[in-house]
Structure 1
Amino acid sequence: MRRHFKLGCFLALLISPTTSTQQVFDTRTMSSQNHLESAAITLHKSWQVLGPFPAGMRELPFGGFPPTVVASYEELLSPTSDPTRYFSAYGPSNATTALQTFEAQVQTNDDNHIKQSLTVEYPNVDWPWVRKSAGWSSLQWQMIAATDLEVANNSTALAITMDKTAEFAVVPRSSFPGNATMQDGQSGKDAIEWHTGDWYSYIAAFSKEDTIAPELPISQHVIHLDQGSYKLLVRSQYEIRIFGDPRNNGGAESPKMTVGIDVAARSLQDVGQQDLIEAHTDPHHSNVPHVVGGWVAGWGLSFALRNIDPAKTYIARSVDVVEPASMKAKLREKWRIAPGQTITIPVQLNQTSSLDPTSTSLDLTVRIGTASDPDKAVITKIVRIPLIHKPAFWDASRDDQDHNAYTYSYLADD
């Protein structure tokens, strides 16, 4: 088994941070029995869920999962005819609970894109008493869920977003680790590698894609997998400030969580180098100031580049404005884009005359090289930045509406 991991860097310039990670597995075993021949991925809708267990706050990834003290994740998430019961303060049967099966609602089930919604609730727990005895924070419980993921082809890039989820992991079924960190007598390379979920639904909040949607949708993580059978693990918790007070749902007492699972696949076997770098100008990955009275409000703008190459690191070398001639652009430095990484590219603009009020976009040419030869541009991308015009405040009257609300950009040292 080979695996590599790259952590996306944070760039606090012009836009909110975006992170990406990469993970590579190589397995050759695949069960084609339940796999459609035309589907690049298959995600089973039956989930094995173990919960509820007491949880703290949103910092769930920094804490352990209580049952792992006595059993491995493989043991916890493997259904048996006589399920093992584990101690839990919220256990509905003599303070114990066991693995259960929950069915996800399938929202999209295309050959290359699957979306599911998984709702988990434990109505047989005496939640009213829990609340009366320990307050609203005692309603916060955690669970772990797992289902089967089948990948049909080698060199497959997966864009994965887990809505309202603390963290998730993709583990080859044949090498499912014996515990949360490593197998007995083996090195840390066998550790489960967890990825952060989208706790606050940032992706959904900025769900508008570019004019031409990419083959891999917007996501927090790009993971590279080869053909094989995998387990998709999800950890989440009912956090009242994320899911809301159950009493606001018609006076219900039982807290339930609904997590979103979004997995899209793209085969990289026949993808040219030019298409291994994607440009994104959607609101989640860019910050474009308003054009006020024909002038860009601020220092510059930003957009994102995503590297879906599983092995090569690229360098964004330079940027130029295609048109208009009155606008010049430059990068303050060269930007490295590691495999599976998405970074925001800050662009400084220098404007010598006002823009035509009918112009709706600004076209940029970005030249990109490889880390092995950073001074040679091997990829040229055309990035179209949408523009929003606002009337100049110096020409506005008191009767004008919204004349004093602008988006402005500035340079941050970090």
Structure 2
Amino acid sequence: MVRLLVPVESRQADNQSPLRISDTWQLLGPFQIGTREGSWGADPLEYHGGFRNLQYDPDTTFRTSLATNGVAKWSKVQAAQTDVTSNSTKASLSVGYDNVNWDFLKVVYGWAAVQYQAWARGELVVSGNKTQQVVLHTDAIIEYWIDDVHYFGGDAYTFRKAPPVLSLTPGAHKVDIRLWRDVRAFGGINDPTIDVLIEARLTSGTLELATPGILISDVVDGQLASPHASVIVRNGGSDDVEITSIRSIESDSPAAINSSGITVIAGQTRPISFSVTLPGKNASSIHYIISYRVIGHGTQSHVLGVSQQLTKGSIYNAHKFTFLHPGGVVSYAMLRPPAKNVTCEGVSAFPVLVANHGAGVEVSDPMAAHVFDALPDLCAWVLLPSGVTPWSGDDWHNWGFTDLEAAVASIPHWIEDVSWGGPGVDVDRWIMTGHSNGGQGTWYGMTHRPDRLIAAAPLSGYSSIQKYVPYELWQPADPRRTAILSASLNSYRHEILLENLKGIPVLQQHGEIDDNVPTYHSRFLGQQLFQAGANSTYNEVPGQNHWWDGIMTTDPLKKFFRSQATSDVTIPRKLDEFSFIIGDPGDMGPKGGIRVLQLEDPGQYGKVHVKGHVLTTTNVLSLEIDIKTLGSASLSIDADELSADEALTIITKGDSGRWSVGEIPNINEAIKHRRGRQLGTMTAILRTKGPFIIRHHGSHTIHTALQVSRNFHQYFYADSVIASSNSTDDNGRGNTVTVVEGHDVPPGLHENFPISISASTVSVTDSKGRIRKYGGASDVGAIYLRPLEDERLELVVWGSSAEALSRAARLVPMMTGVGQPDFVILGDSAAWRGVEGALALGFFDHWWAVTTSSVVS
């Protein structure tokens, strides 16, 4: 039985409104779903043809593992709130189930038990006699259908950055919503309800601001902290537009746009970055005009105005400064330089105290920006990176950690921009801290950049994605498949990487009664640190929950930060004996001057043990060694005696298993040699050095290309260029997503690549040289990485049909913890079986060959 948890509120009546969302919704559920499993499909109603093809019938039953008698039935629920205005309508639903014993399930399965799914159906009605352009916000909703059109991605965290633009004819339009309860977003303590909101709003029918205002630096002592600025626009019309210039109304000269020929296709949202100057020292706001033309409608220019109030303050207080993320977007961080009168004997260049925020936190908010005000005399630069988004895009891992590093690297530019005359900065010496998700990000920083860390203080952080909300209640799957999914997350399982922390002082802190991130995580990691021989102190604060005033500056933390900021330890540290473990060389920095460049099998961990100049390795193919840090040019690696010939020497294991100085042979065949930013799993596509290029093949794939673009922007605030297959748009820097349906996939640059696709068949060459074929008579989808020049990547997303393409596209990286390996071939049963419906999946090695650990059957 479904219960309504929030009373129905009154609704504004406006008979003239062209939009209305139905008050009554049809509901079907609940069904089980595992942590982050939804990206793999795992919808049991797909076994019945999909919810979109089912008709309401309260007498029809469906099998479920959750409800009493193992039965799910149709029911109806009223919208908890429906508002109608002259140009918008919205409805919120709060759904829960009384016929599930949630408490007992939690006793057995923990928080994983209160992750479940259901479906709801309502209508969006367009009145009048003309087609309307409508923006649809889907707060806390990831997947839905509008009539017969599928949308995956939605807005799980209510960012409201990149909603779709719908062209709706007069009449009723069916809205099918997959209600998907995610513990990390909804919580695991209170009643397991699913609370969502839908809002439909008329667009302007042309270019408009997607979010109000301009992302701009604060003004400190009369000058901008940085010249980088950004405005987010959305094309709410049905024709593509080209932005021709951005101009200050106070100046005759146009601003410098960081990209040329900016096209925003119909329905797309894009961030536009440009350079700004103050119109005057006493200015309180800035005003810019965006000029654009509608493509295919002549040269007539249209304008869109945007303004922003300026925030002013002292250069010595925490303030916002902007910089360019490597992905080509403008990001920001909060920076507090050393205090005016602070003196630290013998230190001319201060380290950087990097503090990562928790999930959902905007670091420009006063509560976050001023968390270190109680520690004003620190001999360090205090930096609070944004991670680009309030959720740090991907939990401070790939995209978010790149933002952190870009923010640190931008401090010297800030020094130049504001003519700073105080202490210098050493951008290679970090003290890391962070709270909650930021505490987890601190563990990531410690394990992945140990040679930059003076010390670290993770606060109330979880140990790994899988331990925070356990990966129970997934659909059953062959252990070979789940092993590959698990291996795809190797780089984020910090409890396995703690040997990398040897030599780094660590102060852990956690509230004793934390009901958000269980104290178990810090206790567990403290135990593992001790067993790894690392230097750790654990402070559990009695009577405190997840957050309290002063959490970042408790007395033990103040003492720790002050002592570590003045530490004279040499970075990187010279250690006589240590070990380090590598999950993904693409995101792992050096330890003790030694960096692993490649693994033999990227689906398994690599390990290096160092004692003096003697190295022992496991699953390692090539190394880069800083001889100065190691302290010896004579090396012994797995009993092979070598002599380094340069200060920074590359050493590679050959086919015979013997080590030699130099890179892998045939390096002139660079496209065949996987390395650098190409390493890792499918999330390596996020290591773009410019806007993504999403190339669609045929008008029928534009919808999927737009969806990928929306998800990149929604979850990472990233920028994408959407181009057709015959377009030459390529910035030469950004990674590419190729979208194809029902046609041959164009050949890549690697002439012997192990995956090839015809109009309906996927061929995969396995590790033994055998060719396996999939598809033909049945639908099949595929998603996989391919190499481009200059360490760039292409992500191919293909389906033999629209539905197969949709199944593949949902695995484009969007949320952490999904576990996407290098390639996945999906059969139609993946829609309800999830990962077990993968016909083949696995990893590519250093020559882009399928590894032996992959599943190709």
Equivalents in 2 of 1:267, 1:408: separation in Å?
Answer: 30
Asked if 1:149 is matched to 2:149, the reply is no
Give secondary structure in 1 for the equivalent of 2:34: coil
Please state which structure has a larger fraction of its residues in helix. 2
Asked if 1:391 is matched to 2:314, the reply is yes
Aligned match of 2:841: none
Q: Quick check: 1:295–1:355 contact (8 Å CA) kept in 2?
A: no
* Aligned-pair CA distance for 1:347: 0.7
Q: Which amino acid aligns with 1:261?
A: I
Equivalents in 1 of 2:262, 2:166: separation in Å?
Answer: 21
Equivalents in 2 of 1:256, 1:292: separation in Å?
Answer: 46
Give secondary structure in 1 for the equivalent of 2:323: coil
Give secondary structure in 2 for the equivalent of 1:129: helix
Q: Quick check: 1:367–1:377 contact (8 Å CA) kept in 2?
A: no
* Aligned-pair CA distance for 1:328: 5.9
Query: Of 74, 78, 86, which aligns to 2:62?
Result: 86
Q: TM-score, normalised by structure 1?
A: 0.69
Q: Quick check: 1:46–1:102 contact (8 Å CA) kept in 2?
A: yes
Q: Structure 2: where are the runs of 5+ without partners?
A: 1-12, 327-688, 691-857
Aligned match of 2:322: 408
Equivalents in 1 of 2:264, 2:116: separation in Å?
Answer: 38
Give secondary structure in 1 for the equivalent of 2:113: helix
Residues 329-344 of structure 1 mapped to structure 2, 5 A cutoff: 329-332=255-258, 333-344=260-271
Aligned match of 1:163: 139
Equivalents in 1 of 2:303, 2:174: separation in Å?
Answer: 38
- Runs of 4+ in structure 1 off by over 6 angstroms are none
Equivalents in 2 of 1:231, 1:383: separation in Å?
Answer: 36
* Aligned-pair CA distance for 1:36: 8.0
* Aligned-pair CA distance for 1:63: 1.2
C-alpha offsets along residues 295-336 of structure 1, whole Å, 9 cap, x if unaligned?
2222420112221111x11111122222157x8622131210
Q: Which amino acid aligns with 1:263?
A: A
Q: Quick check: 1:61–1:167 contact (8 Å CA) kept in 2?
A: no
Q: Provide closer, same or farther for how the CA distance between residues 44 and 138 of structure 1 changes in structure 2, counting only shifts above 3 A.
A: same
Q: Quick check: 1:159–1:219 contact (8 Å CA) kept in 2?
A: no
Equivalents in 1 of 2:219, 2:32: separation in Å?
Answer: 51
Q: Quick check: 2:33–2:42 contact (8 Å CA) kept in 1?
A: no
Aligned match of 1:43: 21
Q: Quick check: 1:148–1:229 contact (8 Å CA) kept in 2?
A: yes
Q: Which amino acid aligns with 1:230?
A: H
Q: Quick check: 1:331–1:348 contact (8 Å CA) kept in 2?
A: yes
Q: RMSD over aligned Cα, in angstroms?
A: 2.6
Q: Provide closer, same or farther for how the CA distance between residues 59 and 346 of structure 1 changes in structure 2, counting only shifts above 3 A.
A: farther
Give secondary structure in 2 for the equivalent of 1:138: helix
* Aligned-pair CA distance for 1:292: 2.0
* Aligned-pair CA distance for 1:42: 2.1
Q: Quick check: 1:314–1:371 contact (8 Å CA) kept in 2?
A: yes
C-alpha offsets along residues 45-84 of structure 1, whole Å, 9 cap, x if unaligned?
11111111011123524313202202442453x222x521
Give secondary structure in 1 for the equivalent of 2:185: helix
Aligned match of 1:320: 247
Please state which structure has a larger fraction of its residues in strand. 1
Paired-residue identity, %: 22
Equivalents in 2 of 1:200, 1:54: separation in Å?
Answer: 21
Aligned match of 1:304: 232
Residues 104-183 of structure 1 mapped to structure 2, 5 A cutoff: 104-152=79-127, 153-171=129-147
Asked if 1:56 is matched to 2:31, the reply is no
Q: Which amino acid aligns with 1:391?
A: S
Q: Provide closer, same or farther for how the CA distance between residues 331 and 146 of structure 1 changes in structure 2, counting only shifts above 3 A.
A: same
* Aligned-pair CA distance for 1:267: 8.0
Aligned match of 2:163: 220
Q: Provide closer, same or farther for how the CA distance between residues 160 and 361 of structure 1 changes in structure 2, counting only shifts above 3 A.
A: same
Q: Quick check: 1:316–1:368 contact (8 Å CA) kept in 2?
A: yes
Equivalents in 1 of 2:28, 2:174: separation in Å?
Answer: 15
Aligned match of 1:202: 159
Residues 96-111 of structure 1 mapped to structure 2, 5 A cutoff: 96-111=71-86
Aligned match of 1:282: 212
Residues 266-277 of structure 1 mapped to structure 2, 5 A cutoff: 276-277=206-207
Q: Quick check: 1:54–1:88 contact (8 Å CA) kept in 2?
A: yes
Length, aligned pairs only: 314
Q: Which amino acid aligns with 1:89?
A: S
C-alpha offsets along residues 335-375 of structure 1, whole Å, 9 cap, x if unaligned?
101111221111123x5xx754431222223221233478x
Q: Quick check: 1:365–1:381 contact (8 Å CA) kept in 2?
A: yes
Q: Quick check: 1:159–1:223 contact (8 Å CA) kept in 2?
A: yes
Q: Quick check: 2:31–2:65 contact (8 Å CA) kept in 1?
A: yes
Q: Quick check: 2:18–2:86 contact (8 Å CA) kept in 1?
A: yes
Aligned match of 2:283: 359
Q: Provide closer, same or farther for how the CA distance between residues 380 and 67 of structure 1 changes in structure 2, counting only shifts above 3 A.
A: closer
* Aligned-pair CA distance for 1:234: 0.8
Q: Provide closer, same or farther for how the CA distance between residues 151 and 125 of structure 1 changes in structure 2, counting only shifts above 3 A.
A: same
Equivalents in 2 of 1:321, 1:64: separation in Å?
Answer: 51
Q: Provide closer, same or farther for how the CA distance between residues 124 and 221 of structure 1 changes in structure 2, counting only shifts above 3 A.
A: same
Q: TM-score, normalised by structure 2?
A: 0.35
Q: Provide closer, same or farther for how the CA distance between residues 149 and 410 of structure 1 changes in structure 2, counting only shifts above 3 A.
A: closer
Equivalents in 1 of 2:45, 2:23: separation in Å?
Answer: 24
* Aligned-pair CA distance for 1:199: 0.7
Larger Rg belongs to? 2
My pick for the range that moved more, 300-309 or 364-373, is 364-373
Q: Which amino acid aligns with 2:307?
A: R
Equivalents in 2 of 1:72, 1:132: separation in Å?
Answer: 32
Query: Of 237, 262, 272, which aligns to 2:199?
Result: 262
Q: Provide closer, same or farther for how the CA distance between residues 146 and 280 of structure 1 changes in structure 2, counting only shifts above 3 A.
A: closer
Q: Which has the higher contact order (CA 8 A, sep 6+)?
A: 1
Equivalents in 2 of 1:114, 1:73: separation in Å?
Answer: 24
